[in-house]
Amino acid sequence: DRFFAFVAGLTLIHILWATGMNLLYGYTGLMPLMFAGIAGISAYIVVGLTGSWGWSFWAALPAGAVAASAIGVVLGLPSLRLKGFYFTLCSLVIQTVITLGFVFFVNLTNGDTGISQIPPPILPGGAPLTGTAYDLVLSAVAVAGVVVLIAIVNSDFGRRLIAIREDDVLAETLGIDVTRQKMLAFFVGSLFAAVGGALYAPYVGFISPRSFDVLISLNIWLMVAF
């Protein structure tokens, strides 16, 4: 039974990632194949803060998520002026660079060996967050992510993103700053990926470069496409 619950937990994390991807691919018209890399940056930051610096997981999660999303925007900024196949190709290159960083910055990531025995988050009462309780947290976060996406899509910001998806040249002539809106969408979408990455690390208890390579990004995109 625990095996199926574990698979369900991983599915919930992937749903959170797919929700962020949906904001970019479904509503903005961008296909970022560096999504898993952003999740990985967040996971490594959170593991480093909780392990080496002694932070609480609940403090490290927002710090790691925001930092990873900001790094993702900085790395992806050159590609945001592109569209279609060229944006996807550029994001693929960035994902490759991130994965190579995970492999070669051994002092920070432990390279291909990965980081194992990642402890679970500690609840306010001092008990570890494991098992069914962790699954319930993942369920709540996944549902909250979908609710946030619906709110964004129905907002003025969401309507601007849809206009960019339909015709970015026309959107520009109507006064929409296309690059700025794409950058904001990329940051918000990256937050979904980063939060999912932060939750993934202690849930699985192990991370390595292969946990966040381009195949994971493709899997997330396929979830949205289907």
| pTM to 2 decimal places | 0.95
Closest CA to 36 of 188, 225, 220: 220
> Which residues neighbour 52 within 8 Å (Cβ) at sequence distance 6 or greater?
none
Looking up tokens 């996406």, which residue turns up? 149
d(CA 88, CA 69): 18
Count of other CB atoms within 10 angstroms of residue 217: 25
Query: Cα–Cα distances in Å, from 27 out to 17, 91, 92?
Result: 15, 18, 20
77-123 per-position pLDDT tens digit: 888 878 888 999 999 999 999 999 999 999 999 999 999 999 999 99
84 DSSP 8-state letter:
T
Per-residue exposure over 151-177, b if at least 16 CB sit within 10 Å of its own CB, e if not: ebbeeeebebbebbbeebeebeeeebe
Mean pLDDT of the chain: 94
Q: Which two tokens stand for residue 1?
A: 């039974």
Per-residue pLDDT at 212: 97
Per-residue pLDDT at 85: 86
Q: 3: buried, middle or exposed (CB in 10 Å: 19+, 13-18, 0-12)?
A: exposed
d(CA 24, CA 30): 5
d(CA 70, CA 74): 6
192-219 per-position pLDDT tens digit: 999 999 999 999 999 999 999 999 999 9
Is the per-residue pLDDT at 1 higher than 80? Answer: no
